[in-house]
Amino acid sequence: MKKTEEKQFGMDTSVSNPSTNDLRGRQSVRATFRLSEACIGAISILSAQVGIKQKSVFDYLMEDDQLLKKVARELEGTEFDRNKRIQKTFVISRRSLSFLDTISSKHNAPRDALVEHSARRLLPIIARERKKHEKRKELLTEISNHFTDGRNLLSKAAEMLGTDDPVVNKLQTAMSVYENAFNDIANFIQKGKIIEEFQIE
């Protein structure tokens, strides 16, 4: 191997080591917790509403190490009431689980309680998303009216020019795209209705 190749090989290897560890930390693992229905709901709703994986929600909750340590110190030595809590398995990153286990062990704080208390950080985000959801519903009415006007215009154009006219064909294509977008928007807002029933403490 030439010296330049050796140098390049050495550089690549040194750079790849930390990235390999980083990738390993991002590996998905399954973890089971006993959480309140409200906590599970908050995680599920935010994941669905924002369009991210629940794994990413956990990464968000675990990334603020100072806050998590503060919560752990407050929970140190306390007993976590496991009654009326639901056992739920989540897919999370190996790094988040490792960090959670380390903090839980170091401060003698129940792991489930750490997740439960950390999930309270999601409530302001859910509150903002609920307001957005209401605005989306208002816009959907306007979009629906606009879509109906477009279909009426297409019918009018077809009557005036005939269905085989190039202008009518272009308008038909545009309305087909519009219809797909309208349906996607309506379905997204329909799925978001679960946020209306969520009780924010």
pLDDT for 17 equals: 53
- Per residue in 44-81, pLDDT (tens digit) is 988 888 888 899 999 988 888 888 888 888 887 777 77
How much is the pLDDT for 128?
92
Residue 120, pLDDT > 80, answer yes
Q: What was the pLDDT predicted at 157?
A: 97
What is the predicted pLDDT for the residue at 22?
57
Mean pLDDT, residues 185-200? 87
For 53-75, give one letter per residue: b (16+ CB within 10 A) or e. ebbbbbbbbbeeeeebeebbeeb
In the chain, where the domains are located: 27-124, 130-197
Cβ within 8 Å of residue 79, ≥6 positions away: 110
Proportion of the chain above pLDDT 90, given as a percent: 49
* 95 within 8 A of 63, measured Cβ to Cβ: no
Position 16 pLDDT exceeds 60: no
pLDDT value of position 199: 74
Q: Which of 5-9, 32-36, 66-70 has the highest mean pLDDT?
A: 32-36
Q: Where are the alpha helices (DSSP H) in the chain?
A: 3-25, 37-50, 54-63, 65-75, 94-106, 111-118, 122-161, 166-191, 194-197
Q: Which of 85, 78, 75 is nearest to 37 (CA)?
A: 85
Token code pair at residue 186: 């309506």
Distance CA 43, CA 55 (A): 10
pLDDT for residue 142? 97
Q: What is the pLDDT of residues 132-160, one digit of tens each?
A: 999 999 999 999 999 999 999 999 999 99
What is the token pair recorded at 88? 């739920």
Neighbours of 29 (CB within 10 A): 14
